[in-house]
Chain A
Amino acid sequence: MLIDSNAYIGHWPFRKFEYNTLEALSGRMKEFGTDVSVVSSLNGVFYKNTQNANEELISAIQSKRAYRDRFIPFAVINPIYGGWKDDFKVCSSTMGMKGIRLYPKYHDYDISNPACIELVKMSRDKGLPVVFDLRMVDRRTSSWMDIDKEWSLKDVAPIVRAVPDAKYLIVNVANSTALSAEDTALFKKTALLMDSSGRNMVDWTDLFKRFGTDHFCFGTQSPILDYFTGLLRIESLRENEADESTKELLRSGNIKRMLGM
């Protein structure tokens, strides 16, 4: 089974995407053998009121019966915007969202903001994973109107330290994965996954040694990044680096465990 832990629909204001609808994403999934995709709305990065994006996402998934079995919706919540607690409640109950995505860089708050910590604790209490990206797009080639800020893995550490018993999914690990010894130990014992889409997911032997094979999963960052590279990183692992059972964990086993599937 293959589960993409990191896909989107919606628009990016600065560049046209080709596979940014559920229909187009379904086509890519079929083409590359992906059974299920975790999906959220890119519009939620830019709408001031992110709940509109969540409503659009649910509406899109409900538009076809086939979508309900193939897409797992994650909500975008902005914890410094009015009414966010209601948004979380609606998304996690009525809408049936299975996780939340936070965008501190785009929504302009610190990851240690008390409201962010409170939201992560609320997610923890509901058993919902919380997603952070290290970057959405490559800042080098981004628009002059886009943010010019990327994270390394250590930038996520403050929230993991603050709420170590939450579930985390860190996507597009494009930059350094260096952590202090204390934070490495913390990440290792936390329910935390990193997806395979980021450019710094290179030295798997080292990554497995530092974090364990149970801390990684397949992800595409589609439609922003190409669909195949995240899969190639897993499929090209040699037998002595990852046997078939380990590859299955990466393809779907680890994310299934996190989602309680």
Chain B
Amino acid sequence: MLGSRLMGFTSKEEPHISYDESVKENWMKEVLKYRKIDAHAHVDESNYKVEVNLDYADRLGIEKLMISDFLRPHTEGPPDDFRTRNNFVIKCMKEHPGRFIGTVALNPKYQKESLEEIDRCRDAGMIGLGELYNQVKINDPLYYPIIEKCIDINWNIMMHSPIGHSRVALNPGEPKNISLPEDFADIAKRYPEAMFQFAHIAGGIDWEYACKVLKDYPNVFVGTAGSNNEANMIDFAMKYIGEDRLVFGCDYGFYQGVGHVFSAKLTDAQRKKIFFENISKRLKKGGLDVN
């Protein structure tokens, strides 16, 4: 169908128009029936507690969470810092087998150490990079060897997205090396075989702007995580990004993460893709079969 990718409707099934009465009497049955992987989760010992993650995951039927302990904004992010954070992620994975999928924090300013960290963390069972933060822009040449290594081992690369130019002037509170949607488009074009994930369109960015910029980059997944559950965000992303590139996530905003997917006009098959199948396919390419 002409324009079908832009419309995002590659499934033949009609979107949900109305839930039957039995669903309205037991919403949680409907919520829990979909397998879910939270493709944007965090752990640490203060702000992103393991037990809180698991409580909401159990409550909302999230089988697995892709966790990271990201390098904080406005920090230098030296090797000792990212190694310590990755060690905490590895510890969480060991303590809760089957629930957490560890993703790797690193800083390409320390290129040798970052490349070594990928090997070390891969040996420990981690898969993929994320959430990469603002120490270096995603399209900075410092990232090239890191990205090339991820291409070799089929790893997903998830990078933070900014508030950016939502209010025209670049948000003054953000680090100068924040990666803008245009930076993702640039690197996706340079490395069409790499698998990028643009983090949390509900994280404060102008999501219409971001989806429009990323429309024509099939190797960029777009994460639905974040606290800003504005209406129609998912429906809009379906039009521009499509059902095969959207991935469910929460970024610790669990109610919004699940809620706005259920609020969108999606078919059953589209929900399955967004909640589980899209990211699980990428994980499988990297060697992790979650099925």
Cβ < 8 Å to A, chain B residues 91-136: none
- Count how many chain B residues have C-beta atoms less than 8 Å from C-beta atoms of the other chain: 40
**The residue from A137, A232, A238 contacting B27, defined by CB atoms under 8 A apart:** A232
CA distance A5 to B253 in the complex (A): 22
Chain A residues, CB < 8 A from B263: 226-229
CA distance A90 to B48 in the complex (A): 51
Given the complex, which residues of A lie within 8 Å of B169, measured CB to CB? 144
Q: Interface readout for B223-250 with A: 1 if CB under 8 Å, 0 if not?
A: 0000111111111000000000000000
- Shortest beta-carbon distance, B92 to chain A, in Å? 21
- CB within 8 Å for A232 and B262 given contacts A141-B207, A142-B167, A226-B229: yes
Task: Tell yes or no: A233 within 8 A of B by CB.
Answer: yes
Interface centre among B31, B235, B255 (most CB of A within 10 A): B255
A179 to B228, alpha carbons, bound, how many Å?
24
B71 at the A interface (CB under 8 A): no
Give the residue of B18, B24, B168, B259 whose beta carbon is less than 8 angstroms from that of A232.
B259
Answer yes or no: A138 CB below 8 A from chain B CBs.
yes
Docked complex Cα distance between A224 and B233 (Å): 10
A32 at the interface (CB under 8 A from B): yes
CA distance A123 to B260 in the complex (A): 35
* Partner pick for A148 among B167, B255, B264, CB 8 A cutoff: B167
A108 within 8 A of B: no
B interface footprint on A46-64 (CB within 8 Å = 1, 0 otherwise): 0000000000000000000
| The residue from A143, A199, A226, A232 contacting B31, defined by CB atoms under 8 A apart | A232
Most-contacted residue by chain A among B204, B233, B262 (CB, 10 A): B262
Determine if B207 and A202 form an interchain contact, defined as CB atoms under 8 angstroms apart.
no
A236 with B163: CB separation less than 8 A: no
Q: How far is the CA of A140 from the CA of B24 in the complex (A)?
A: 33
| Cα distance, A235 to B208, chains bound together (Å) | 30
| A140 and B255 within 8 A (CB) | no
Task: Tell me if B206 is interfacial: C-beta within 8 Å of chain A.
Answer: yes
| Contact between A226 and B59, CB atoms less than 8 A apart | no
User: B228's contact among A138, A231, A235, A236, by CB below 8 Å, is which?
Assistant: A138
**B232 adjacent to A199 (CB under 8 Å):** no
Residue from the list A143, A199, A223, A230 in contact with B227, Cβ < 8 A: A199
CA distance A76 to B259 in the complex (A): 29
Asked whether, in the complex, the Cβ of B229 is within 8 Å of the Cβ of A33, the reply is no
With both beta carbons as reference points, the residue of chain B lying nearest to A238 in the complex is identified as B59
Report Cα–Cα, A15/B236, bound state, in Å. 12
Interface residue A206 (Cβ < 8 Å from any Cβ of B): no
Question: In the complex, A227→B229 CA distance in Å?
Answer: 9
A26 to B253, CA, bound (A): 28
Name the B residues within 8 Å of A122 (CB-CB): none
Q: Which of A17, A33, A199, A224 contacts B19 (CB under 8 A)? A: A33
Residue of A142, A228, A235 with most chain B CB atoms under a 10 A cut-off: A228
> Closest A-chain residue to B206, C-beta based?
A141
**What is the CA–CA distance of A142 and B207 in the complex, to the nearest angstrom?**
11
B231 near A227: Cβ-Cβ < 8 Å: yes
For the complex, is A222 an interface residue (Cβ under 8 Å from B)? yes
Asked if A86 is an interface residue, CB under 8 A from chain B, the answer is: no
CA distance A222 to B231 in the complex (A): 7
Cβ of A65 under 8 Å from chain B: no
B14 to chain A, nearest CB (A): 14
B260 / chain A contacts, CB cutoff of 8 Å: 226, 228-229
* Residues in A neighbouring B150, C-beta threshold 8 A: none
The answer to whether A141 touches B231 (Cβ under 8 A) is: no
A243 within 8 A of B: no
Is A226 a contact partner of B19 (Cβ separation < 8 A)?
no
- The answer to whether B255 and A202 have CB atoms under 8 Å apart is yes
Q: Is the CB of B228 within 8 A of A32?
A: no
Q: How far is the CB of A25 from chain B (nearest CB, A)?
A: 11
With contact pairs A32-B19, A142-B166, A227-B263 given, residues A232 and B231 touching in the complex (Cβ less than 8 Å): no
Question: A31: CB under 8 A from chain B?
Answer: yes
Please report B residues at the A interface, Cβ cutoff 8 Å. Answer: 16-19, 21, 24, 27-28, 31, 59-60, 163, 166-169, 171, 204-208, 227-235, 253, 255-256, 258-260, 262-264
Q: Which residues of A contact B (CB under 8 A)?
A: 15, 17-19, 30-33, 137-138, 140-144, 148, 199, 201-202, 222-233, 235-236, 238
With contacts A199-B229, A229-B263 known, what are 4 further pairs, Cβ within 8 A?
Answer: A18-B232, A223-B232, A232-B262, A233-B259
Ranked 8 nearest A-B pairs via Cβ: A229-B259, A140-B204, A33-B24, A226-B263, A228-B263, A226-B260, A144-B167, A235-B27
